[in-house]
Amino acid sequence: MPTAILYIRVSTGAQAARGYSQRSQLDRLEKYCRDNNVKIYDTVYEDCSAKSFNRPEWKKLFSLLKTKKTGVDMLLFTSWDRFSRSIIDSYTMIEKLKALGVSVQTVDHPVDFNTVESKYRLAIHFAESEAENARLSERVKRGILKAKQEGKWIGKAPLGYQNRQTSNGMKYIALKEPEAKLLKKAFEEVAKNIFSVGDVYSQIVSEGLQCSRSNFFRLLKNPIYCGKIRISESDTGREYDIDGVHEPLISSVLFEKVQEVIEMRQRKTSKRKIICEELILRGFLSCPECGKSLTGSASKGRSKKYHYYHCHPGCHFRRRADEVNLQCVEFLKKLKANEPYAALVGMIQENIKTASDLKNEAERAQKASMVERFSDKMVNAHDLFVKGDIDYDDYLLIQSNCKRQIKTCVEEVQQLAVLSKTVPFQEVSCILDKLYDFYKEASIEVKREFISYILPEKTTLLEGGFDEMINEPTRIVFNIKSSNPKQGDEDNGAGSFQVMDEKYLAFIEDYFTEKKMAQPANVKNIVIFLKKITLLIIRG
């Protein structure tokens, strides 16, 4: 059974409320302990601000825990703002306590400290606890809902609009150029349904709209642009739109049309991904008789379906797909990387890892400091509002803006966490020796991507099989001899070659010089090829 010390803190403010606050905190803490089977060792009362841990009762408590004689393994608070208001201080303190075998937990917002995102979740609690625990929390919520129901946009104006104020102090949002014009054009282009939403985005950005891709997709779904305010489900139990008092950017008809197009396109893209395994090489091969690219289809035999790769009408060339696929598999089974390329892959892999780790680390640190800045800003705004230095509308504006920013940061950090999880660092060079094992377990998309790396841009289907058909880098890396080394292949994206790769070239050069062998001519293509394969293996 865990043993806890309950910590109750009241701020040195309203005298009358103090007694009430203490009792209410104690009630909740005791209930938590009963419900979760936690033994109570002691209860500590503090009457001090949470600006730092330099509080008399806290210092005594901490010295007591340092003796490790209590058997206490948990400090329990009602909410995070009872613990501290500074994220940095909190984290330092949490680490110190952890070293003493003591965990910190709250009744209102339990945080699982074993996950990467916990720090950011905690940051949000810090930011939000101010509003939640404050006397005016309910008033704030009610105020926002009431304003929305009156058709007013609350908070920072969305892209294309700006916050304004009438001469008698009424706040409203008004169209802002040139963003409004550009966004309107974006809605119109998406509705035409000629280009993909992504293409429309690129075009509008090139014309000067400053907006992230994900935000752009979100904006297209926001009914604010056709003059409506959305009341969310969490506010009233059901979601609905009401007419806003602001000037619409586009008509409701255009807005609905855009929603339709977005939905339709989403359905389409998810459908297109289905490729059939029986025709896995479809799209890679061209006809040995006329040179056109081969397509594929199934035809019904007496007892089962047969799949064929065949040419277009007018040319009668066709081959049984299962036979060609089998040739491909037989070829893949014998692939084994040659020195020095197997060693080179180790280097490439190391580089990819370092680069992505560094990038992740830097981004994470940046997000963390942003979260902290916005939390501070929120707490500040609250203080200013209570003191009467800013008015209610400004307070709401700052608060909703900060919350949105924090939420975005947290989402981005969560994405980073996913990314770094998908880079398990197995021995890629080992896999290069047993490529077929990797291939056969891979998804059909990864299989096709792999095939696209080993075949030239245009691959004529040859009787001699894949030994004859593969591109030059594959031939060299896996040491495949050909009786007929003639497949046009000089491109392979050498244009994307980067300066960073110079050291790979040096490595290869040293190797061949040492062995007194002639170095292959298109080493750059080989490095690019290996890099693509390495990335695929890491991802796949």
Residues that bind Zn ion (CB under 5 A): 287, 289-290, 311, 315, 317
Q: Tell me how far, at minimum, the Cβ of 318 lies from Zn ion, in Å.
A: 9
Q: Would you say 5 or 285 has its CB closer to Zn ion?
A: 285
Q: Tell me how far, at minimum, the Cβ of 292 lies from Zn ion, in Å.
A: 5
Q: Tell me how far, at minimum, the Cβ of 463 lies from Zn ion, in Å.
A: 15
In this structure, the chain runs to a length of 540
526, two tokens:
């080989």
Residue partners of 202: CB distance under 8 A and separation at least 6:
none
DSSP state of 237: S
Q: Would you say 170 or 290 has its CB closer to Zn ion?
A: 290
Residue 224 burial by CB count (10 A; 0-12/13-18/19+): exposed, middle or buried?
A: buried
103 forms bridges with which residues in the sheet? 74
Q: Tell me how far, at minimum, the Cβ of 491 lies from Zn ion, in Å.
A: 23
Residues 327/463, Cβ–Cβ less than 8 Å: no
Q: Tell me how far, at minimum, the Cβ of 295 lies from Zn ion, in Å.
A: 10
Indicate the pairing of strand 305-310 with strand 161-165.
unpaired
Indicate the pairing of strand 285-286 with strand 459-460.
parallel
Q: Would you say 215 or 460 has its CB closer to Zn ion?
A: 460
DSSP 318-343: EEEHHHHHHHHHHHHHT--PPTTHHH
Q: Would you say 72 or 311 has its CB closer to Zn ion?
A: 311
Residues 201/209, Cβ–Cβ less than 8 Å: no
Cα–Cα separations (whole angstroms), residue 404 to 111, 222, 365, 481? 21, 15, 19, 60
Q: Tell me how far, at minimum, the Cβ of 310 lies from Zn ion, in Å.
A: 8
Cα–Cα separations (whole angstroms), residue 333 to 327, 373, 477, 520? 10, 55, 15, 24
Q: Tell me how far, at minimum, the Cβ of 314 lies from Zn ion, in Å.
A: 8
Distance from C-alpha of 45 to C-alpha of 429, rounded to nearest angstrom:
61
Q: Would you say 311 or 348 has its CB closer to Zn ion?
A: 311
Q: Would you say 292 or 515 has its CB closer to Zn ion?
A: 292
Q: Would you say 215 or 293 has its CB closer to Zn ion?
A: 293
Helix (H) or strand (E) holding 532: helix 523-539
Q: Would you say 307 or 367 has its CB closer to Zn ion?
A: 307
Distance from C-alpha of 183 to C-alpha of 204, rounded to nearest angstrom:
8
